[in-house]
Amino acid sequence: MVRGIIVALDLPTAESAVDMAEEVADHVVGFKIGLGLLHGPGPLLIPALVALGKPVFADAKLNDIPSQVEVAARRLGEHGARWVTAHVSGGQAMLEAAVMGLQAGAGAAPAGILGVTVLTSHDGASLARIGIDRSPGKLVARMAKVAAAAGCEGVVSSPKELTVVADVAPGLLRVTPGIRPVDRDDDQARTMTPAEAVNRGADLLVIGRPITAAGDPKGAAAAIAAEIKDAAPSD
């Protein structure tokens, strides 16, 4: 697996997302669009980004009854999504439906479901407030096993749980948001630098605001890509 940046294009319009993608394309391995764009401009943004020559990660965070998730995943695959997220909390049957739907929609093109484990905005205290008495690490470990059993290509987890995923489900692609080159005060609770995440076994690093909100997004992407390359172990 080529380690690198998936740039999170959490921008207000399709035009600004495509412009940003074009600006940083030389330093990233793919593009992510999240709920804001999927529920705004819609999934037709996916082929516009695919046309730039990089895979697109549709962060749809699917979570519904299996039949509905299968249809949604198939539609995203038809639009050209390389990866689609689905919440592991939806259960193994739902994840299996997502896998089936995405592969049907993508046809011969590679496509895989990424199981969302514990959001990086959560910590142990916030999980306890909603009645979950497990630590993030223990919860991610259980969820990674479910994702692997369902045929997911990978999981999305905090960088702090990367080694947990590697231990319990070593065949899964490890995708991590919550990457911060320097300390920032935002809505991410469990973060890590790019080099630290790579050293813990990250495959794809989802990075948004440190690039897209920088004064020089292309320069920021280049600097982080260089940090990842320097930190990556020799394969």
What residues contact residue 204 under an 8 Å CB cut-off, 6+ apart? 1, 3, 4, 5, 6, 29, 30, 154, 173, 174, 175, 176
pTM: 0.92
Q: What is the mean pLDDT of the chain?
A: 92
Catalytic residue, from 61, 138, 145, 218: name it: 61
Say whether pLDDT at 175 is over 60: yes
C-alpha to C-alpha distance for 211 and 196, rounded to whole angstroms = 18
Mean pLDDT of 198-214: 94
Mean local confidence (pLDDT), 33-54: 96
Q: Tell me the mean pLDDT in the region 204-218.
A: 96
As a three-state string, the secondary structure of 130-182 is CCCCCCHHHHHHHHHHHHHHHCCCEEECCHHHHHHHHHHCCCCEEEECCECCC
pLDDT digits (tens, 9 = 90+) for 44-83: 999 999 999 999 999 999 999 999 999 999 999 999 999 9
Mean pLDDT of 144-168: 96
Percent of the chain with pLDDT over 90: 79
* Domain, as residue range, for 8: 4-231
Structure token digits, residue 7: 């740039």
Per-residue pLDDT at 192 exceeds 70: yes
Residue 55 to residues 29, 35, 82, 83, 235, Cα–Cα distance (Å) = 7, 18, 6, 8, 22
C-alpha to C-alpha distance for 36 and 57, rounded to whole angstroms: 14
Q: Specify the CATH number for the domain of residue 136.
A: 3.20.20.70
Please give the average per-residue pLDDT across 164-185, as a whole number. 85
- As a whole number of angstroms, the distance between CA 210 and CA 60 comes to 22
Residues in Cβ contact with 50 at an 8 Å cutoff, skipping those fewer than 6 apart? 56, 80
Task: Give the model's pLDDT for residue 52.
Answer: 97
Residue 234 confidence class, pLDDT cut points 50, 70, 90: low
pLDDT tens, position by position, 94-152: 999 999 999 999 999 999 999 999 887 888 888 889 888 888 889 999 999 999 999 99
Residue 189 has pLDDT above 60, yes or no: no
What pLDDT sits at residue 135? 87
Active site residue 54: no
pLDDT tens digits for range 213-227: 999 999 999 999 999
**Domain count for the chain:** 1
Residue 190: the pLDDT is 52
**Structure tokens given for 179:** 């990457």
